Amino acid sequence: MESLFKTKRIDYKSIIKENNALFIFVLLFVFAAIKYDVFLTTNFVTNLFLQNTMVGFLAIGMTFVIISGGIDLSVGSMLAISGIVAARISSYNIVFVFVVTLLVGLIVGLINGLLIVKLKIVPFIATLATMIGLRGYIHLTSGSKSVPTVNPTDAFMQIAKGKLIPGIPNAILLFVIVLIVGIVVLKYTRFGRHVYAIGGNIEAARMMGIKVVRESILVYVINGGLAALAGLVMTSRLGSGQYTAGIGWELDAIAATVIGGTLITGGKGKLSGTFFGVLILGILKQIFNLQGNLNTWWQNIVTGAILLAVVIIQSRAQAKKA
């Protein structure tokens, strides 16, 4: 009889561990809102989201890659070259612009996947080579100058600046759509389950009949497509393809993904955590910008400290399971 009245004990420690990015975000936001009134204004919150959509696209793709047990250092360079391509064809039909720009990222992603899966090159080295090669090609073809859009169509400019929903820029709307699709794919589809299985234990995944080669390559293709989408949105927003765009953003994408709870060794993670990881980096940047008299390099130190703390927690959790 007593068992009927027993209530299940809530494991708060597990809840915090599973949603550490959310709790870090809430703490940072509350601190920032108390210290700076501007944090509670609609315009500021909108700009916070808008300024981090490009890194957000990269982080979504990076989450897929890291969960699968890989890494991609070339996303910043893919963003830049895709943005320049978009600027050069911005006067064409918007469907053509989307197809060509995304194709650039998909092809580079495919190359990365083939190098890693077929030629057995370590992901770090393969994507580092792609990053360096692409960045050199960008400088040669652009003359180390930004490439302005020439007679861009209204549809092209509306990609980032338009507002299909009043008060919400299209760039944010597009990011939210991609995020939701990514969450559904990872959580509810066979491909998503395969990505987790490959990252968790690639040999076990093979024994389960998962087509590891195809799925692993597809992860990098998706990542490349999202990097290209980020470049397209950025060019629409700025009105030019920036040859310096995306430098260092691969590290921001990795940091946001890991801070969001994705296991750096693969097999575990979720895009909702990555979303809050992106916002954490964005809030830190805004706090240091508003502080004014504080050296902005402290932002890197704080970000590094948070990242290190998350990795240590992950390592200890894995050690306990072992």
Query: Quick check: is 2 in a domain?
Result: no
Query: Quick check: is 241 in a domain?
Result: yes
Query: Quick check: is 308 in a domain?
Result: no
pLDDT recorded at residue 1: 46
- Burial class, 114, CB count within 10 angstroms (exposed 0-12 / middle 13-18 / buried 19+): middle
Query: Quick check: is 299 in a domain?
Result: no
Helix locations, 148-268, DSSP H: 154-161, 170-188, 190-200, 202-207, 212-238, 249-259
Rounded to whole angstroms, the Cα distance separating 97 from 178 reads 18
Query: Quick check: is 87 in a domain?
Result: yes
pTM for the structure as a whole:
0.92
Q: Work out the pLDDT band at 16, boundaries 50, 70, 90.
A: low
Query: Quick check: is 7 in a domain?
Result: no
Averaged over 165-181, what is the pLDDT? 95
Query: Quick check: is 1 in a domain?
Result: no
- Report helix, strand or coil for 147: strand
- Burial class, 216, CB count within 10 angstroms (exposed 0-12 / middle 13-18 / buried 19+): buried
215: how many CB neighbours lie within 10 A of its CB?
A: 19
Query: Quick check: is 14 in a domain?
Result: no
For 37-64, the pLDDT digits (tens) are 888 888 888 988 999 999 999 999 999 9
> Can you give the CATH number for the domain in which 266 is found?
1.10.3470
- Measure the CA dihedral 131/134/140/142, to 10°: -100
For 265-318, the pLDDT digits (tens) are 999 999 999 999 999 999 998 888 887 776 767 878 888 888 888 888 777 777
H/E segment holding residue 240? strand 240-241
User: What tokens were used for 267?
Assistant: 């097999």
H/E segment holding residue 148? strand 147-148
What's the structural domain count of the chain?
A: 1
Range of the domain at 32: 20-287
Rounded to whole angstroms, the Cα distance separating 275 from 56 reads 7
